[in-house]
């Protein structure tokens, strides 16, 4: 079970890094927001889901 938590945290950190770089670049680029907003909203939803799932699964470990 701890391996699952570690993999979820690794995915969470990788996605967070991508979002921290990708969102400002998208907002600063002219015309990119209209093209990429669905992808960004989906990525944020996955990020929130990872936070919740990791927290719930971690409560069974501690």
Give tens-digit pLDDT for 12-53: 999 999 999 999 999 999 999 899 999 999 999 999 999 999
- Tokens 């570690």 belong to 6
The structure's pTM equals 0.87
- What number does CATH give the domain 2-61? 1.10.287.740
Query: What are the CA-CA distances from residue 26 to residues 3, 15, 21, 48, 59 (Å)?
Result: 34, 15, 9, 20, 36
- The confidence band for 62, taking pLDDT boundaries of 50, 70 and 90, is low
Q: Classify residue 57 by burial, with Cβ atoms within 10 Å: 0-12, 13-18, 19+.
A: middle
């Amino acid at each position: 079970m701890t391996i699952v938590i570690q993999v979820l945290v690794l995915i969470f950190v990788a996605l967070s890094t991508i979002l921290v770089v990708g969102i400002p670049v998208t907002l600063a680029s002219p015309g990119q927001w209209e093209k990429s907003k669905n992808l960004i909203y989906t990525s944020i939803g996955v990020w929130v889901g990872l936070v919740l799932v990791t927290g719930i699964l971690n409560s069974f470990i501690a």
